[in-house]
Amino acid sequence: MLSFIRFIAMNTEDPQRMADYFGDYFGMREIAHGAKGEIALSDGWFKLALLPSWPANEVGGIAHYGVTVDDLDALRARLAQYGGTLDADEGGDFHGAYRVHDPFGGQWSVSVHDSGRAFGMNDSGQDAHDRPRIRHAAIYMKDTQASLDWIEAVFGLREINVSRKIRTLSTLPLRMCGDGQCNFTILPFNFISHFGQENQRVISAEHRARQWMPQHFGWVIPDLMGLCGHLPEHAKDMNLMPENMGEYSAIDPDGNRMDITGGKGFEVDFNVWERAEGRGGPPPFIMVRNAQGERVNVAP
């Protein structure tokens, strides 16, 4: 079964303001506008659905991610084997055709490939290197290893090299996988207390009970410094990130955080890195924290 992460549902009280921001600074184009004020944007590969109303048990910000699959029967079989349910969703321009509920209390929109289309988009942005493109998504989950195992088994994503290095050389419970286009990072939910508040998101009681919540997403930018010079001062964090992926952070009008990168890029498959200039191999070294919490550089 071939699967890709290609959808972000974001709850916002002002979809138009958000659409203007992502269009002006990141070049996203509007592909659908709903009667209730919903707006769908695309970078050519990812769809960002901006939703002005949401269930009472959700809060503003990133609500969930979406996955495309090419074999719905295979997905059903994997869910029966590894846990999780598949239900019909609203469909249309702003939702998936199906919704998967994982064993950890989380949910995923699902769309089926249809003649090169998924979530109502074509595949024109898969190999586009001349435009800003979403190539990273991150989530908080209670048990990062169990979550990674489930994502690999059900959706077929693959653990990347940085994650393996961290898992074998460090006690840090952070895991990462990729689908060949997007890096998906699983952060321990208890990181919220010291890592997740800079985007000013409300954390609901249900999030805390489930210990599951989307955290941020990330962009590969062809002209990173040009973007940083164009963004308003309040919408960027120019403290250089020490980690393997991402140089800086940007903040959208609702306070959601995004990683932005050019030269570092994101590892989207095992030793496959998506950078501003296109695909490439690993960097000269990978940074991990050892059992003592010290940063050390190891060969890729």
Q: How many CA atoms are closer than 13 Å to the CA of 273, on its beta-carbon side?
A: 22
Query: Do 3-112 and 133-298 have matching folds?
Result: yes
Instruction: Quote the tokens at residue 26.
Output: 């990141």
Report which residue type is found at 250: A
pLDDT digits (tens, 9 = 90+) for 251-297: 999 989 999 999 999 999 999 999 999 999 999 999 998 877 788 99
pLDDT value at position 129? 81
Q: With contact defined as beta carbons under 8 Å apart, do 49 and 94 qualify?
A: yes
Each residue's pLDDT tens digit in the chain (300 positions)?
899 999 999 999 999 999 999 999 999 999 999 999 999 999 999 999 999 988 877 788 999 999 999 999 999 999 999 999 999 999 999 999 999 999 998 999 999 987 567 898 877 677 778 899 999 999 999 999 999 999 999 999 999 999 999 999 988 899 999 999 999 999 998 877 544 444 456 677 777 778 888 989 999 999 999 999 999 999 999 999 988 999 999 999 998 999 999 999 999 999 999 999 999 999 999 999 887 778 899 999
Maximum C-alpha span of the chain = 55
- Cα separation of the two ends of the chain: 28
Q: With contact defined as beta carbons under 8 Å apart, do 12 and 254 qualify?
A: yes
In three state form, how does the secondary structure of the chain look? CCEEEEEEEEECCCHHHHHHHHHHHHCCEEEEECCCCCEEEECCCCEEEEECCCCCCCCCEEEEEEEEECCHHHHHHHHHHHCCEEEECCCCCCCCCEEEECCCCCEEEEEECECCEECCECCCCCCCCCCCEEEEEEEEECCHHHHHHHHHHHHCCEECHHHHHHHHHCCCCCEEEECCCCEEEEEEHHHHHHHCCCCCCCCCHHHHHHCEEEEEEEEECCCHHHHHHHCCHHHEECCCCCCCCCCEEEECCCCCEEEEECCCCEEEECCEEEECCEEECCCCCEEEECCCCCEEEECC
> Where does 133-298 sit in CATH, by number?
3.10.180.10
Give the pTM.
0.94
Q: With contact defined as beta carbons under 8 Å apart, do 264 and 253 qualify?
A: no
The two beta strands, 29-33 and 47-51, are unpaired
CATH homologous superfamily, domain 3-112:
2,3-Dihydroxybiphenyl 1,2-Dioxygenase, domain 1 (3.10.180.10)
All structural domains of the chain with their residue ranges: 3-112, 133-298
